Amino acid sequence: MANDSDLQSDLLTASTALQSAFCASLRSKKFFMLDVMPVDAEQYLDGSNHCWCRETQQAIGPDGGMVQPAHCVPGRKCYSSAFDA
């Protein structure tokens, strides 16, 4: 049987491993109309397809790459999980 410190360590490891579908800094006009965490690109994109990064306030992310739901995903250098926010 695991003791409390082992259980807490396992829970911490599990929670830090969770990644959201999109970067926590990805923004669009449509994003502000949601009352849930976006899990699909259509939840960000409207007719203009314009998105921006909360960190840079531009359509270019901190790593110099384009800001779009297809690009702002786990594995990108500047990605941060919405679960960490």
Which has the closest alpha carbon to 81: 14, 19, 13?
A: 19
State how far the Cα of 34 lies from the Cα of 72, in Å rounded to an integer.
Answer: 18
Domain residue spans in the chain?
Answer: 20-85
Q: What is the pLDDT of residues 40-83, one digit of tens each?
A: 999 999 999 999 999 999 999 999 999 999 999 999 999 999 88
Q: Please state the pTM of the whole predicted model.
A: 0.76
**What average pLDDT does the chain have?**
86
